Amino acid sequence: MTISESKHAESTDRLGIVKLLAGITLLVSLSWEIIAGDHRYLSMTYLTIQFFVCVIFLYDFLLRILQSEHRGRFFVRHLFYLLISIPYLTLISWTGVRMTHDWGILVGLVPMLRAFLAMFLIVEWMVRSKRGGRMRWLFAAYLFTVVVFTYVSALVFYDYEVLVNPKLEGFGNALWWAWMNVTTVGAEIFPVTAVGKVVCVLLPSLGMMFFPIFTTYILQEYMPQQSNPSSSTPSSSTSPASISPASSASSSPDVSTPAPPASSASGAGVPEV
């Protein structure tokens, strides 16, 4: 590896850490906005944090497309990453339109998807750097996806239901509701808004989709491995005295196998017995 390639790898790793920290910051700010907000309008602090996080994601996209050999192909393949890195809330606020809290949370979840992908890549790197197998990588991705998606679903459910649902008394109840639904057990809190009903359908679907991965991982990690019968009897430990006549006869050359022809007085070749 040349010096330029090593510097490029170091800069990529550093930028990956920055993206991870940006994603965590965005998740923390979204949590604070929903739990401690007024559930009517978005605060300027949250809009500012989301703007700078999106700038980091856009800088990452610009740097990678400049370093790519085929920029047009890279742009087409990674167009989705560009679209979910745009600070839509900031652009809308610059136009003078003040969005309600409900619509603002939905639009604000778009950069959260980019942050989720950044954290997902970090999880992949951590698992594979420890030389974990494919099943361990799938299990780590399963846990990460379920935990993050369940937590974000609890945030969205709490934001949309807290003012209209009399059974929802706090964020703790929303978090309990989300985990009960992702495990397909269910809870006594029923959604009354359209967004809450959509989340209520998605959570059990996610749980049923990823449950086979959990079962397969447990079976592979904790089932006893079957021993190979051929490896329990090494052939090098067998002494010549322990070889039976039957085994020695079976190991001798086959008498029916023809040998090279031997010349006779008449010149005809006969097999040697």
What is the three-state SS of 23-65?
Answer: HHHHHHHHHHHHHHCCCCCCCHHHHHHHHHHHHHHHHHHHHHH
* Alpha carbons 180 and 251: distance in angstroms, whole number: 67
Give 70's pLDDT tier (boundaries 50, 70, 90). Answer: confident
Q: Which two tokens stand for residue 133?
A: 């197998």
Name the average pLDDT for the chain. 74
Return the pLDDT at 163. 85
Give 232's pLDDT tier (boundaries 50, 70, 90). Answer: very low
Closest CA to 17 of 110, 121, 142: 121
Q: Where are the beta strands (DSSP E) in the chain?
A: none
**Using alpha carbons only, how large is the chain's radius of gyration in Å?**
33
Return the pLDDT at 30. 87
pLDDT score of 34 more than 90: no
pLDDT score of 177 more than 90: yes
Do residues 68 and 74 make contact, with C-beta atoms less than 8 angstroms apart?
A: yes
pTM: 0.68
Q: Give the range with max mean pLDDT: 40-44, 80-84, 125-129.
A: 80-84
More reliable by pLDDT, 198 or 134: 198
Please identify which residue in the block is written with the tokens 């085929």. Answer: 70
